[in-house]
């Protein structure tokens, strides 16, 4: 269901009321019931959550998991129940890990329903009633005042200084001044539809009323909710990599197992059942059955570390996806900026100062700071300042300077006013002075104010306003405006009595100019450095905002997202509308700042970069960000200022709303990918060694290792060391490297070659030990010789993997570094794995279960020497790799 396409901002109040079957007196009870039956309650729809059972079943869709289950079923049919139990145990544990993580992070999905205004004030049957927002219907007349949450989409029919904060919907931090006149432009973005008010935005100032033109899913927020619900679930680079790896491994496994089975049957030395068991042994050897669990555990450990650093992961694969991020498309308001108007510049005594350097005691004769407080409707409460963000910024400035605001307001109470209106852009108040006279305070747009001033204040003197002074003020105003600073001018006059007629034409004349105040929604102090770090890491930051072009450009320059002369890197939503997708795709790389954009623009921007093959992270906090958060490879929501809607659509939440936490998370993501890559290199090279050993043994007609041997080796040598590799600290300069990107995978960066040669070395060394045991026997008995050979091969194949785990601590780095023994969990995992492996040979009774024999010291020496040789051989190859890479 889409939001209505009718452009109510193009229609008169009378036409809209007629179309909605309403009047200024509101609907009758009968009309309300009819509309409620036709349109339904004013609620938003959300997707149904999946059940625990559905989540559990979804974990078994992975191809590698399916192959493992098939191997377990075959093991049961041929009588290898122990093998089947071990395989299924690994599979089920992996599924439980996945379900736990998804369930733990799903509490905020239905939060769109909670976002709606709890109550609304409407006019029905000619009387004002307070009703639940869900009972609001099209045609209702809704009354608005400061502090209200707007319950539905409205065409405004009355506005008295009405200002509405629409940041969650448009991304614009400054409240929008509303009016009721017809807007003739046929294509206006939401932020410029000034005669409309939208569901879930906040009234910050003034009062007004409007006729409801859209409820529930027919509102602008409803359209966003619909985009969220209909968004396709995207797969992360991690999921794509694992799926690709599963396909490759499955193909190889089936081919090798088939060859061995056929060759064995042709030789005629083995029965059908034995050859089937041999094929299963090869399948078990080739499949890294611990890989899904190890990847899950590594990601889970990564989420714990990231949570300690204020990045909460909602979906496990998001940890790794962060590491491959190439684009961070960030919302401006509340993400790059503080979403809080702040006084930044003060023009007083004909001089422009940074606000932080201004001390009120240095200006005892100037009225500027007094005017900031008196011409102000901000209310102070226990919860903080309440009012228009611009006005609260003026009060907060004085509070920060230790001014006694309450005392001044009490001593110079307001007795009359001329309210602000958007046409004259001014507001005046009259406050009684202790001597019985009155001070008239005026604030507003500097150009309008100057037309009504005849004097200006400087130090403790008042001088006539001349062209030179007027030019200086206007130039200062222009200079600040080009920096996206919002400027207010202040003026005053002292009068003996209040005029009987309070009109602008009468009272706002012959004023004394006091100064200018420049305000801005300032950037977060840590963001500029985070942008530098992101660029050093090869990541391109983008700004996407509902703010005007000049504001967006100025903030982007201050943050270092674009350079001082990079104005061509800024594009507006209107310009974007004029481009088709093909043209935009060609030009997307030249833009780093997107201003005055709508929610559908954000999704389009993310899509365009994804079509360039980039991994895109999108940050945001508003309702308007939710569709693009869901579309992005990784959506990052703000934990403090973020709406529950944005959190529900995200993959990661920043608990501290700190942009720099994203960079920290990227570093953690890169470390997680590197550690998973190390584990995969370790597992696949080990499994290749096992496959080669079994394949050659079968081809040579030797007695081969049984499935229980391979499973035990995989259980004790793969599981603990591989998990421990997931805890490796980040290698040096991890944030100085370019992002991997979407095309990279776990076998890139030389890993595929390493797997092949290291696996061949492991297999050949194991076969050499088997040959030595056969050719240089310790015992005379034929059966004992072959039992010893099989045991030595079993011990070598296990022990060589434990030594090789040290090689895998770095893809290309040397084992002889200061950090080799830094990971204590890894060190203990090797010790425990060795004990479990050796126990099957040296502990009486266990060797019978595993069909192995005792080895003497001479045989153990051969096994140990052969196993440790893998370290020496791989170190030599790494040395050559580093030399060639340097060249």
Tokens of 527: 């963001």
Q: Which of 294, 282, 292 is nearest to 688 (CA)?
A: 282
Tokens linked to 782: 């034929």
The C-alpha atoms of residue 272 and residue 256 are separated, in whole angstroms, by: 17
Residue 226, CA atoms < 13 Å, CB-side half-sphere: 14
614 and 633 in contact (C-beta within 8 Å)? no
Let me know: does 648 contact 314? Beta carbons within 8 Å: no
Let me know if 331 is a catalytic residue: yes
What are the backbone dihedrals phi and psi of residue 437, each rounded to the nearest 5 degrees, phi first?
-80, -175
Which residues on neighbouring strands pair with residue 313, listed in sequence order?
A: 652
Backbone angles phi, psi at 731, to 5 degrees: -75, 165
Distance (Å, whole) CA 237 – CA 222: 31
Burial label for 210, CB within 10 Å (0-12, 13-18, 19+), is buried
Residues 725, 729, 732, 734: is their CA dihedral positive or negative?
A: positive
Structure tokens at 260: 């061995």
Distance in angstroms (rounded) separating the CA atoms of residues 105 and 307? 13
> Among candidates 403, 333, 356, which has minimal Cα distance to 175?
333
Radius of gyration in angstroms for the set of CA atoms belonging to the chain, rounded to a whole number: 36
Biggest CA pair distance of the chain: 126
Q: Which single residue is written with the structure tokens 């992961």?
A: 313
According to DSSP, residue 802 is labeled H
Taking each helix axis from N to C end, the angle separating 81-104 and 63-77, rounded to the nearest 10 degrees, works out to: 150
Cβ(204)–Cβ(389) below 8 Å: yes
44 with 222: CB under 8 angstroms? yes
Q: How far apart are CA 234 and CA 629, in angstroms?
A: 11
Which of these is catalytic: 62, 192, 331, 718? Answer: 331
Rounded Cα gap, residues 833 and 818, in angstroms: 23
Distance (Å) of CA 494 to CA 431, 489, 497, 512: 10, 18, 9, 9
The set of catalytic residues is 331
């Amino acid at each position: 269901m889409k939001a209505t396409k009718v452009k109510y901002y193009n229609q008169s109040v009378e036409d809209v009321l007629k179309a909605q079957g309403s009047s200024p007196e509101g609907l009758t009870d009968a009309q309300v019931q009819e509309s409620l039956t036709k349109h339904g309650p004013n609620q938003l729809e959300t997707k149904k959550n999946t059940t625990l059972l559905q989540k559990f079943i979804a974990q078994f869709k992975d191809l590698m998991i399916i192959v493992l289950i098939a191997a377990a079923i075959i093991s049961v049919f041929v009588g290898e129940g122990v093998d089947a139990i071990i395989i299924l145990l690994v599979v089920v544990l992996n599924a439980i890990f996945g379900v736990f993580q998804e369930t733990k992070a799903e509490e905020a999905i239905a939060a769109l329903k909670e976002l709606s205004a709890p109550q609304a004030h409407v006019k029905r049957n000619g009387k004002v009633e307070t009703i639940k927002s869900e009972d609001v219907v099209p045609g209702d007349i809704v009354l608005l005042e400061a502090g209200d949450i707007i319950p539905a989409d409205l065409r405004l029919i009355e506005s008295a200084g009405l200002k509405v904060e629409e940041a969650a919907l448009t991304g614009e931090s400054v409240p929008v001044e509303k009016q009721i006149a017809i807007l003739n432009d046929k294509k206006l973005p939401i932020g410029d539809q000034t005669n409309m008010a939208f569901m879930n935005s906040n009234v910050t100032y003034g009062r007004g009323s409007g006729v409801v033109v859209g409820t529930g899913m027919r509102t602008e927020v409803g359209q966003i909710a619909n985009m969220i619900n209909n968004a396709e679930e995207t797969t992360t680079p991690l999921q794509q990599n694992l799926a690709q790896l599963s396909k490759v491994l499955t193909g190889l496994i089936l081919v090798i197992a088939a060859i061995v089975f056929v060759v064995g049957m042709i030789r005629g030395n083995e029965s059908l059942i034995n050859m089937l068991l041999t094929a299963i042994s090869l399948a078990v050897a080739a499949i890294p059955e611990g890989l899904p669990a190890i990847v899950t555990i590594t990601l889970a450990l990564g989420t714990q570390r990231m949570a300690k650093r204020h990045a909460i992961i909602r979906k496990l694969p998001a940890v790794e996806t962060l590491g491959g991020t190439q684009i961070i498309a960030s919302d401006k308001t509340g993400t790059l900026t503080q979403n809080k108007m702040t006084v930044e510049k003060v023009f007083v005594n004909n001089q422009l100062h940074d606000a932080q350097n201004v001390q009120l005691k240095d200006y005892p004769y100037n009225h500027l700071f007094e005017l900031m407080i008196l011409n102000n409707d901000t209310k102070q409460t226990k919860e903080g300042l309440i009012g228009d963000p611009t006005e609260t910024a003026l009060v907060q400035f004085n509070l920060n300077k230790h001014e006694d605001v309450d005392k001044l307001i009490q001593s110079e109470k307001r007795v009359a006013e001329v309210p602000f209106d958007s046409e004259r852009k001014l507001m005046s108040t009259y406050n009684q002075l202790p001597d019985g006279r009155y001070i008239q305070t005026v604030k507003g747009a500097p150009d309008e104010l100057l037309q009504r001033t005849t004097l200006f204040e400087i130090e403790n003197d008042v001088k006539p306003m001349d062209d030179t002074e007027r030019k200086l003020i206007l130039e200062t105003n222009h200079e600040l405006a080009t920096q996206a600073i919002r400027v207010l001018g202040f003026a005053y006059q002292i009068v003996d009595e209040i005029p009987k007629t309070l009109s602008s034409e009468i009272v706002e004349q012959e004023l004394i100019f006091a100064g200018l105040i420049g305000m801005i929604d300032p950037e977060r102090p840590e963001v500029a450095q985070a942008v530098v770090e992101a660029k050093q890491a090869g990541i391109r930051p983008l700004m996407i905002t509902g703010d005007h072009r000049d504001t967006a450009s100025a903030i982007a320059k201050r943050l270092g997202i674009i350079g001082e002369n990079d104005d061509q890197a800024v594009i507006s939503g209107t310009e974007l509308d004029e481009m088709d997708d093909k043209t935009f795709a060609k030009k997307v790389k030249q833009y780093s700042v997107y201003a005055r954009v709508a929610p559908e623009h954000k999704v389009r921007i993310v899509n365009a970069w994804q079509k360039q093959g980039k991994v895109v992270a999108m940050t945001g906090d508003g309702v308007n960000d939710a569709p693009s958060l869901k579309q992005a490879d990784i959506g990052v929501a703000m934990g403090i200022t973020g709406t529950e809607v944005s959190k529900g659509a995200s993959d990661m939440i920043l608990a501290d709303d700190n942009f720099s936490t994203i960079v920290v998370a990227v570093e953690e993501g890169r470390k997680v990918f590197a550690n998973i890559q190390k584990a995969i290199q370790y597992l696949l090279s080990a499994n290749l060694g096992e496959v080669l050993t079994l394949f050659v043994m079968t081809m040579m007609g030797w007695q081969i290792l049984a499935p229980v041997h391979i499973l035990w080796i995989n259980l004790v040598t793969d599981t603990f060391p591989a998990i421990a590799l997931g805890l490796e600290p980040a290698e040096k300069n991890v944030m100085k490297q370019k992002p991997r990107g979407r095309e990279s995978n776990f076998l890139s960066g030389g890993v595929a070659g390493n797997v092949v040669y290291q696996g061949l070395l492991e297999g050949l060394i194991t076969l050499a030990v088997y040959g030595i045991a056969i050719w240089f026997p310790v015992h005379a008995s034929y059966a004992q010789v072959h039992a010893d050979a099989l045991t030595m091969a079993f011990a070598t194949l296990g022990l060589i993997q434990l030594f090789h785990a040290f090689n895998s601590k770095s893809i290309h780095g040397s084992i002889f570094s200061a950090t080799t023994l830094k990971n204590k969990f890894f060190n203990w995992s090797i010790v425990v794995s060795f004990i479990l492996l050796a126990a099957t040979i040296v502990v009486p009774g266990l060797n019978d279960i595993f069909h192995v024999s005792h080895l003497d010291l001479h045989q153990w020496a051969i096994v140990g020497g052969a196993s440790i040789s893998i370290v020496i051989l791989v170190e030599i190859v790494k040395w050559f790799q580093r030399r060639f890479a340097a060249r």
